[in-house]
Amino acid sequence: MRRTDEDDELLKSIRRYVTPGRRYLKLGGNLMGMTDRERATFLRKLGEAAGEITSRELGVLLEGGWRERKTAAWLIAVANRTDFRERLGELLLASEGPYAGQAYCVALGTDRAARFVAPAGLWQQWIDGPPTKSHGSPDSYREFVDQLCAFADASARD
């Protein structure tokens, strides 16, 4: 993992793609709480960033911390960058937490991620594994990810 205090390239990419408007905090659940106007503005800017970011910059962000990886996964999804599928799959398998599954599902589309979110799949194994998590049903997570995928797909079309 790259560290911002040691890596000017990572810091530059973070400043350009991760932190503007606290973007990394708005990706995911906070996106659902926005007004239609706020969401449209946010998704337009996300789409612009997805169109501007280079493969090199995406690779740098994927080597950063969770904020950078989460943002990169969304930018990859919105830009439909299929060349990063394998890398995102590796991150899902190596990562812990709900963002790993979310990032993979969003970036690859629910049809490609079905084996991960299926009963007894990696998502279910994460939910059932330590540490104990208070959570809803796996179906509620899938529904939420479906909503996020719809936002990413809509942003990619705009």
For 55-64, how does the pLDDT look when each residue is reduced to its tens digit (9 = 90+)? 999 999 999 8
Judged by average pLDDT, the poorest of 43-47, 80-84, 106-110, 124-128 is: 106-110
138 pLDDT higher than 70: no
Place of tokens 């560290």: 3
Question: What integer is the mean pLDDT of 98-102?
Answer: 47
Residue 61 CB contacts under 8 Å (≥ 6 apart), including other chains: 10, 13, 14, 17, 18, 68, 69, 71, 72, 75
pLDDT, tens only, 17-34: 998 888 888 887 777 788
CA distances, 123 to each of 17, 39, 88 (Å)? 28, 27, 15
Identify the burial level of 10 via C-beta atoms within 10 angstroms of its C-beta, where 0-12 means exposed, 13-18 middle and 19 or more buried.
Answer: buried
In this prediction, residue 40 carries a pLDDT of: 84
Tokens standing for 57?
A: 């910059």
Cβ contact 74:120 at 8 Å: no
Residue 99 has pLDDT above 50, yes or no: no
How far is 18 from 73, CA to CA, in rounded Å? 11
Average pLDDT, integer, range 61-77:
89
Tell me which amino acid residue 33 is.
G
Percent of the chain scored above 90 by pLDDT?
18
- Greater confidence (39 vs 105) lies with 39
Alpha-carbon separation of residue 82 from 87, 107, 114, 127 (angstroms): 10, 8, 17, 27
Phi, psi torsion values for 81, nearest 5 degrees:
-85, 85
**Residue 36 backbone dihedrals phi, psi, to 5 degrees:** -60, -40
Map out the domains of the chain as residue ranges.
8-157
pLDDT at 141: 64
pTM: 0.67
